[in-house]
């Protein structure tokens, strides 16, 4: 279950959720009028994104290849349409994570923080950097969950060390 949620979060972090559907496929004949998009994944699972009229957000329900509910993500938007938060539910519709999004002064996404629910413990940070041309780098994903083995590319070790110093209350350079 956690693997599917993490795979889904990884896909969403790449920006796939914000593209509107240009037309409806025959698969959508029984879906509601509020439907935004259906995404089929290589493993046979699918994600259905819905934006309810008058709401400041979107819901993504992910189903396994056999059609069983795997996870639900409820995204909340700010007054300018930017993502400000997300609640991730498991297949039993119990909240398991809450996500907060941070932006720089140019309104570019610079960080996502995932907290366990209901403990409120920070379990993951996703950090984005931008080059001089405004192009976003691949995300630096830092797992703060002690039960999970960290897998961090050696080229990013300097950033990882700095982040851990900041989290432990150490001094900045």
Confidence check: pLDDT of 2 > 60: no
User: Does 172 map to a domain?
Assistant: no
Position 155 in a domain: yes
Domain of residue 135: give its range: 2-167
* pLDDT tens per residue, range 77-131: 888 888 899 999 999 999 999 999 999 988 999 999 999 988 889 999 999 999 9
**Is the peptide bond preceding residue 118 cis, with omega within 30 degrees of 0?**
yes
44 within domain boundaries? yes
Whether 15 has a pLDDT exceeding 90, the answer reads no
Contact status, residue 71 vs residue 4, Cβ threshold 8 Å: yes
Whole-number mean pLDDT of the chain? 75
- Residues 38, 28 contacting (CB under 8 angstroms): yes
Domain count, the chain: 1
pTM of the model: 0.62
With 80 as the cut, is the pLDDT of residue 43 above it?
A: yes
Long-range contacts formed by 84-92: CB under 8 A, 24+ apart: 87/117, 88/5, 88/9, 90/1, 90/5, 91/1
Q: In the block, which residue shows the tokens 């796939």?
A: 16
Residue 173 lies in a domain: no
The enclosing domain of 29 has a CATH number of 2.40.128.720
**Strand, coil or helix: 54:** coil
């Amino acid at each position: 279950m956690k693997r599917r949620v993490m795979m889904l979060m990884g896909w969403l972090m790449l920006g796939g959720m914000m593209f509107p559907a240009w037309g409806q496929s025959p698969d959508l004949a029984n879906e509601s009028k509020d439907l935004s998009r259906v995404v089929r994944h290589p493993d046979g699972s699918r994600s259905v994104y819905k934006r309810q009229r008058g709401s400041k957000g979107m819901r993504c329900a992910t189903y396994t290849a056999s059609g069983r509910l795997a996870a639900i993500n409820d995204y909340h938007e700010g007054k300018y349409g930017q993502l400000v938060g997300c609640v991730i539910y498991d297949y039993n519709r119990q909240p398991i994570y809450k996500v907060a999004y941070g932006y720089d002064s140019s309104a570019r996404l610079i960080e996502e923080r995932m907290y366990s629910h209901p403990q409120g413990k920070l379990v993951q940070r996703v950090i984005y950097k931008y080059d001089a041309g405004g192009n976003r780098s691949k995300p630096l994903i830092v797992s703060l969950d002690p039960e999970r083995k960290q897998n961090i590319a050696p080229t990013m070790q300097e950033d990882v060390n700095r982040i851990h110093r900041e989290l432990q209350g150490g001094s900045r350079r």
